[in-house]
Amino acid sequence: MMDSMEMKCTECGSNFVYDEQSLALYQKMGLTPSGVCFLCSTRHRLAFRNDSVLYPRVCDLCKKQMVSVFAPESQHAVYCQTCWWGDAWDPFEHGRDFDFNRPFFEQFGDLFIKTKKLSLLNLNSTNSEYCNYTVGNKNCYLLIGGDFSEDTYYSHYAMHSKECMDTYWLSHCELCFEAVDCDKCYNVSYARYCSGCTDCAFMYDCSGCTDCFGCVNLRNKSYCFFNEQLTREEYKRRRGEYKLSNRAMVEKAQKEFEAFKLKQPHIFAKQVNCQESSGDNLAGCNSARNCFDVYFETTAVSDVFLAGWRLNDVVNANHIGHGTELCAQTAFCPSSNRIIGSLTTFNSSEIWYSYDCHNSNSLFGCSSMRKAEFAILNKQYTKNEFGILKDKIISHMKETGEWGKIFPKTLSPFGYNETFANLIFPLEKKQALQFGFKWNDHDYGTHGKETIKINDVPLDIEEVTDDILKEMFACETCGKNFKIIPQELKLRKKLGVPLPIKDFLCRAKDRLKQRNPLILHHRQCMCTQKHEHHAQGRCSYEFETTYTPDRPEMIYCDACYKKEVY
């Protein structure tokens, strides 16, 4: 086994390296590395996931109105959740024989266009129609990828949270606004990397804090104002000078906070209880290499984004976990095992190059299957027939050069501008088309129908009346029209935060800009303080970090950071 393999990405032309672990994982699963770098392959898979652009349309089976990730003019037949999971249609109706005179992806594409598509994934939810990739939510609106939350709006990945809005990656939070990567927080706004904080605003990398404002790197503090310890009375007076119900005051505070934050040390990466791992936002990982947003009981994974919870032996994948193992070139496949080249496959095992197949086993090249097994191109076989034909198809794909690659971009049922890829890796239409992605010119919003300009609305939410619910706004960034819904106005008043000046997706893009790109850079600790491991001069410790060398932040190694913060 080689120690590593240097490659030039066939997509973007950048140089990258497959390390010993990733090569071993590919070999373990009988695959040859595709020659596509982590960023390009992740973007490629994410271009198959429309989670945030939702359309009203009619179910093609029951003819009832529904919400769907597929635009009304989509060429696919789309069923509502009740119909798709029901027994009124046969997933095997378009099954076909495999033709060894044709490439696999070409044959799968012919099948894929015929099979029935699920409108969206929104399971066991109550009064939460406009949510996707979710389960167990109540009274939520445009909550994407979040589970078991209540009265939460315009957020991505809010788990077990209540009355939160405009957030990304929350867990067990309540009354939080514009919070990113936070857990167990209450009444916290404009925060990042905060845990166990209460009644705080404009916070970064703080834990266990109460009644703090504009603070960075604090632990178990109260009544701190821009890291200055105050008495309760003085804190209340200083805090009262910032009325965050007023948009102009929020913008002023944001500018001051960003300037203050740059003066404080930043740890090179967020890694908690990790061993032999590289990447950012990792917790409870062992041998997680070049991984991002990977959590808890994870072992031997490489090139993985947004995954975890008992994840083992996985390479080049995203949005997977909850007991998943032995997967490669895979996305959106929780609670599944031995999955190769497949997308959106839940609670399944031994699935090769399939799409939207759930609670199934032993499928190859299948689409839109439920509780199925031993099928190829949606045609049923016996167990023995399946095994023989599967091996022949793999050999055929190796000959055609398809084995180990991702589904072609042209098979995505979505335009790049509809997908999660465009939130993480934004592209203009010309760029997307140059990379081979599709683009949907359908205007999924409206333009030019605004009835009021944001400058004509009171800056302070306390001065806004219910009449605002009748108005239509234009997003400051993209120009799309949007409205304020009643439950949103009620929560904004409760939280004391101003009306938005951008639509949901543009706000989400701004929020994601707080997170660094999914790429590591080799750097040296910038600390010049006197610490035990470097009594004088600059610390010599080197590391891999998502902070580029030209960034203005002071980036510290773990030891120096802890000396300064704890």
Residues 475 and 555 in one domain: no
Residues 380 and 293 in one domain: yes
pLDDT greater than 60 at residue 1: no
What's the pLDDT band for 535 if we cut at 50, 70, 90?
A: confident
What does the pLDDT read at residue 446? 85
Each residue of 166-201: pLDDT tens digit?
A: 999 999 999 999 999 999 999 999 999 999 999 999
Q: For residue 292, what are the contacts with CB-CB under 8 A and spacing of at least 6? A: 279, 280, 281, 282, 304, 305, 306, 518, 546
Rounded distance between C-alpha atoms, residue 437 and residue 48, angstroms: 10
Residues 494 and 534 in one domain: no
Each residue of 450-477: pLDDT tens digit?
A: 999 988 999 999 999 999 999 999 999 9
What's the pLDDT band for 329 if we cut at 50, 70, 90?
A: very high
In angstroms, the Cα distances linking 37 to 13, 109, 519 are 9, 25, 11
Structural domain span for residue 478: 454-512
Rounded distance between C-alpha atoms, residue 449 and residue 474, angstroms: 8
Q: For residue 117, what are the contacts with CB-CB under 8 A and spacing of at least 6? A: 70, 74, 76, 77, 78, 79, 84, 356, 368, 413
pTM exceeding the 0.85 threshold for the entire prediction:
yes
12 lies in some domain = no
Residues 323 and 352 in one domain: yes
Q: For residue 340, what are the contacts with CB-CB under 8 A and spacing of at least 6? A: 29, 31, 327, 328, 329, 330, 351, 352, 353
Each residue of 287-326: pLDDT tens digit?
A: 999 999 999 999 999 999 999 999 999 999 999 999 999 9
Last residue of a domain, one of 491, 512, 533: 512
Residues 301 and 381 in one domain: yes
328 lies in some domain = yes
pLDDT greater than 60 at residue 437: yes
Q: 4-8 and 122-123 as β-strands: parallel, antiparallel, unpaired?
A: unpaired
Residues 295 and 381 in one domain: yes
pLDDT greater than 90 at residue 490: yes
Each residue of 209-254: pLDDT tens digit?
A: 999 999 999 999 999 999 999 999 999 999 999 999 999 999 999 9
72 lies in some domain = no
Neighbours of 382 (CB within 10 A): 9
Least confident of 2-16, 83-97, 232-246: 2-16
User: What is the count of structural domains for the chain?
Assistant: 3
pLDDT greater than 80 at residue 25: yes
What's the pLDDT band for 2 if we cut at 50, 70, 90?
A: low
Residues 467 and 527 in one domain: no
Residues 538 and 476 in one domain: no
Last residue of a domain, one of 468, 489, 512: 512
Whether the Cβ atoms of residue 111 and residue 96 lie closer than 8 Å to each other:
yes
211 lies in some domain = no
Residues 294 and 357 in one domain: yes
489 lies in some domain = yes
The mean pLDDT value for 86-109 works out to 98
304 lies in some domain = yes
Last residue of a domain, one of 474, 493, 512: 512
Rounding to the nearest 10 degrees, give the CA dihedral for residues 280, 286, 290, 293.
-40
Residues 289 and 378 in one domain: yes
495 lies in some domain = yes
Each residue of 330-376: pLDDT tens digit?
A: 999 999 999 999 999 999 999 999 999 999 999 999 999 999 999 99
The mean pLDDT value for 438-452 works out to 88
Residues 332 and 378 in one domain: yes
Rounded distance between C-alpha atoms, residue 423 and residue 330, angstroms: 19
Q: To the nearest whole number, what is the mean pLDDT of the chain?
A: 96
Residues 290 and 309 in one domain: yes
Neighbours of 443 (CB within 10 A): 9
381 lies in some domain = yes
Rounded distance between C-alpha atoms, residue 352 and residue 332, angstroms: 14
What does the pLDDT read at residue 454? 86
